[in-house]
Amino acid sequence: MIKKDGHTHTQFSHHGSTEQLDMYIERAIDLGFTEYVVTEHAPLPQQFLEEFVGPDDARDNSAMAIDELTFYKSEVERVKEKFKDKINIKSGFEVDYLKVYETDIHSFLQRESNWIDEIVLSVHFLPNNEGNVAPIDYEPDTLSAYFSDECRNPQILFKRYYDAVIQSVNFDTGLKVPVRIGHITLIRKYQKLLHLPKFDESIKQQITELLAIIKQKNYQLDFNAAGFSKPYNGESYPTFDIAEQAKKIGIELVYGSDAHEVNALGLYYDEMKELIVDKK
């Protein structure tokens, strides 16, 4: 039986731990994982960094820098070879979807297409009412500061988020490898702190539409454990009801620890495995 972690990070996440990739892999083997996709944040488009990022800005350290790309790839290649008898390691990226930079993202993926086995496609940044693009999952204060109007009417914030996630699914990656849509309830990361309400009927409808497009594109869903460990969230991304809805229409759910440190590997796998479609 395949036991897969489809969403993992490395020391190239500047907001994560500096533990070496070998330690992650050894831990995954100990936990009985047979397949492991390394999905570090791909470098953000250069123009995005230049146009929006200031010195103390979250956006300049969330992803690997472009000059780290070669080293990252060689590290993944190295552990692939080193552990090949014990675990099937795949090369990947977590790719930020940014509507304005679709062309740059497309070019990046084309350049790397021979190297990529799988990707996670994620929305972490949204435009606010003034057109400034800000991260939704960096700090609660950042979310409240950039999206103060939207936070007063959270259904508007939710709609903004699902509009972007739907756009990300419709984006032409140009790749022929598995694409997973990342953590599709990330907008609820600080739900307990910000007292976010439940999704209203129109958002639920948007989620139904989103799942239909994911199915139509034959994409997978990142069934992400990270929210369980976040003090202000406490749930999987997406929540079990949405995961069940996805499974019902035949979308493949792939467990993702989204580990940024070795200790986060495998968390909540047992709780989530019922919903993971096992094709093998």
96 binds Zn ion (CB under 5 A): no
Count of residues interacting with Zn ion (CB under 5 A) = 4
Identify the CA nearest to 231 among candidates 140, 142, 105, 146. 140
Q: Does 258 bind Zn ion (CB under 5 A)?
A: yes
In terms of CB distance, is 195 or 257 closer to Zn ion?
A: 257
Span interacting with Zn ion, options 60-68, 156-164, 239-247, 252-260, rule CB under 5 A? 252-260
For the CB of residue 122, give the shortest distance to Zn ion in the complex, in Å: 4
Q: What is the 3-state secondary structure (H, E, C) of the chain?
A: CCCEEEEECCCCCCCCCCCCHHHHHHHHHHCCCCEEEEEEECCCCHHHHHHHCCCCCHHHCCCCCHHHHHHHHHHHHHHHHHCCCCCEEEEEEEEECCHHHHHHHHHHHHHHCCCCCEEEEECCEEECCCCCEEECCCCHHHHHHHCHHHHHCHHHHHHHHHHHHHHHHHCCCCCCCCEEECCCCHHHCCCCCCCCCCCCHHHHHHHHHHHHHHHHCCCEEEEECHHHHCCCCCCCECCHHHHHHHHHCCCCEEEECCECCHHHCCCCHHHHHHHCCCCC
Least gap, CB of 16 to Zn ion (angstroms): 9
- Which of the ranges 49-57, 117-125, 147-155, 163-171 carries the binding residues for Zn ion, by CB under 5 A? 117-125
As measured in angstroms, the least distance from the Cβ of 4 to Zn ion is 15
Nearer to Zn ion, 122 or 220 (CB): 122
Burial class (CB in 10 A: 0-12, 13-18, 19+), 256: buried
Among 94, 96, 112, 222, binds Zn ion (CB under 5 A): 94
Minimum Å distance from CB 139 to Zn ion? Answer: 15
- Which lies closer to Zn ion via its Cβ, residue 150 or residue 258? 258
118 binding Zn ion? (CB under 5 A): no
At 178, list the tokens: 């598995």
Positions 157 through 186 that interact with Zn ion (CB under 5 A): 182
Those residues whose C-beta lies under 8 Å from the C-beta of residue 65, and which sit 6 or more positions away, are 43
Give min distance, CB of 41 to Zn ion, in A: 7
Q: In the complex, what is the shortest distance from the CB of residue 273 to Zn ion, in angstroms, rounded to a whole number?
A: 20
Closer CB to Zn ion, 41 or 129, in the complex: 41
Residue 91 near Zn ion by CB under 5 A: no
Q: The tokens of 55 are what?
A: 């010195």
| Contacting residue, 62, 122, 173, 191, with Zn ion by CB under 5 A | 122
Work out how close the CB of 96 gets to Zn ion at its nearest, in angstroms, rounded to a whole number. Answer: 8
Q: Which is nearer to Zn ion, 206 or 224 (CB)?
A: 224
Nearest residue (CB) to Zn ion, 118 versus 258:
258
Interface residue list for Zn ion (CB under 5 A): 94, 122, 182, 258
